[in-house]
Structure 1
Amino acid sequence: MDVSEHGLFAQWLDRSAVAVGSEAWWQQVKSSEVPLIRAMAADRYEVLFLWQDPQGTAERSSIAAVYMDVNSVTDHHSPTPARMQRWPGTDVWFWMMQVPANWRGAYQFIPCQARQLPDWDLAQRDADRQRQWWISLQPLAVRDPLNPVRAQMSQWGIRQSALQMPQAPAQPAWVAFDLGADTLPPEVVEMSWHSELLGNRRSVWRYQTGSTCERREPLPLVLLLDGRFWAQNMPVFDALDYETRRGRLPPALYLLIDEIDNVTRASELPCNPLFWQAVQQELLPEVARAVPFTDEPAHTVVAGQSYGGLAALYAGLHWPERFGAVLSQSGSFWWPDRSLVHQVSDPIQGRLPGAGGWLTEQARLHPLSLPLKIWLEAGTREGEMISLSETMCEVLQRGVHDISFRAFEGGHDRLCWRGGLLDGLSWLLAP
Structure 2
Amino acid sequence: MAISPAAAVERDFPAPREPVPQPPARIRVLTGYFRTHWETLSAPEQQQLQAGWDTRALPLIEDDPDGDPDVRAVTFLYRNSAAAAVILSANAMVHPDTLGACEFEALPDGLWALTWQMPASWEASYRITVHTGTGTPPWRTAADRRGVRLAADAGGPDPRNSVLSTGMSGAATSVLRLPAAPPAPWLATPVPAASAGTSIMGDDSAAGLLPQGRCWAGGRTSGPRHVLGDFVRSLELRRVRDRHTGRMRNVWLYRPRVPLAAPTPLLVLHDGQVWAKYQNLAGTLDAAIDAGILPPLHVAMVDSVDVPTRSRELSGPTGSVDFAACDLIPELRRSLPLSPDPLHTVISGASYGGLAALWQVARFPGTAATALAQSPSLWRYDLDQPLLEAAGRIRVRLQAGCYEPSIHAPARALHAALAESGVDTDFRSVTGGHDWAWWHPWLIRGLAAVLAD
TM-score range (shorter-chain normalised) is 0.7 to 0.9
Match of 1:131 among 128, 146, 151: 146
When the two chains are superposed, the root-mean-square deviation of aligned CA atoms in Å is 2.8
Q: Structure 1 residues 193-202 or 389-398, which shifts more?
A: 193-202
Q: Report the counterpart of residue 50 of structure 1 in structure 2.
A: 77
Amino acid at match of 1:215: A
1:228-275 CA-to-partner distances (Å, cap 9, x unmatched) read: 111111111121122212222111111011110111111111223243
Matches within 5 A, 1:346-365: 357-363=381-387
Matches within 5 A, 1:38-77: 38-40=62-64, 41=67, 42-53=69-80, 57=81, 61=82, 63-77=83-97
Q: Do residues 283 (structure 1) and 312 (structure 2) align?
A: no
Task: Indicate the percent of aligned positions where both proteins have the same amino acid.
Answer: 27
Given that residues 380 and 386 in structure 1 are in contact (C-alpha distance below 8 angstroms), is that contact kept between their aligned partners in structure 2? Answer: yes
Q: Report the counterpart of residue 401 of structure 2 in structure 1.
A: 379
- Identify which of structures 1 and 2 has the higher relative contact order when contacts are C-alpha pairs closer than 8 Å and 6+ apart: 2
Q: Report the counterpart of residue 403 of structure 1 in structure 2.
A: 425
Amino acid at match of 1:208: R
**Which structure 2 segments of 5+ residues have no match?**
1-29, 196-227
CA distance in 2, matches of 1:191, 1:116: 51
CA, structure 1 residues 115+285, in 2 after alignment: closer, same or farther (shift >3 Å)? farther
Alpha-carbon distance, 1:192 to partner: 2.5
Give TM-score, length-normalised by structure 2: 0.78
Matches within 5 A, 1:145-156: 145-149=159-163, 151-155=164-168
Q: Do residues 253 (structure 1) and 298 (structure 2) align?
A: yes
CA distance in 2, matches of 1:143, 1:28: 16
Q: Report the counterpart of residue 286 of structure 2 in structure 1.
A: 241
CA distance in 1, matches of 2:319, 2:188: 38
Aligned length: 387
Q: Do residues 11 (structure 1) and 24 (structure 2) align?
A: no
Given that residues 402 and 429 in structure 2 are in contact (C-alpha distance below 8 angstroms), is that contact kept between their aligned partners in structure 1? Answer: yes
**Which structure 1 segments of 5+ residues have no match?**
336-356
CA, structure 1 residues 121+92, in 2 after alignment: closer, same or farther (shift >3 Å)? closer
Q: Structure 1 residues 374-383 or 249-258, which shifts more?
A: 374-383
1:69-115 CA-to-partner distances (Å, cap 9, x unmatched) read: 11244434546462112213x12122111101111111111112346
CA distance in 2, matches of 1:94, 1:266: 38
Q: What is the DSSP-based 3-state SS (H/G/I as helix, E as strand, rest coil) of the residue aligned with 1:173?
A: coil
Q: Do residues 159 (structure 1) and 172 (structure 2) align?
A: yes
Give TM-score, length-normalised by structure 1: 0.81
Alpha-carbon distance, 1:399 to partner: 2.9
Match of 1:421 among 421, 443, 451: 443
Matches within 5 A, 1:289-328: 289-328=334-373
CA, structure 1 residues 272+317, in 2 after alignment: closer, same or farther (shift >3 Å)? closer
CA distance in 1, matches of 2:308, 2:79: 38
Amino acid at match of 2:55: S
Q: What is the DSSP-based 3-state SS (H/G/I as helix, E as strand, rest coil) of the residue aligned with 2:365?
A: coil
CA distance in 2, matches of 1:33, 1:14: 19
Matches within 5 A, 1:86-235: 86-88=106-108, 90-114=109-133, 117=136, 128-129=143-144, 131-136=146-151, 138=153, 140-149=154-163, 151-155=164-168, 157-174=170-187, 184-212=231-259, 214-216=260-262, 218-235=263-280
CA distance in 2, matches of 1:70, 1:14: 29
Given that residues 325 and 364 in structure 2 are in contact (C-alpha distance below 8 angstroms), is that contact kept between their aligned partners in structure 1? Answer: no
Q: What is the DSSP-based 3-state SS (H/G/I as helix, E as strand, rest coil) of the residue aligned with 1:407?
A: strand
CA distance in 1, matches of 2:395, 2:336: 25
Amino acid at match of 1:65: A
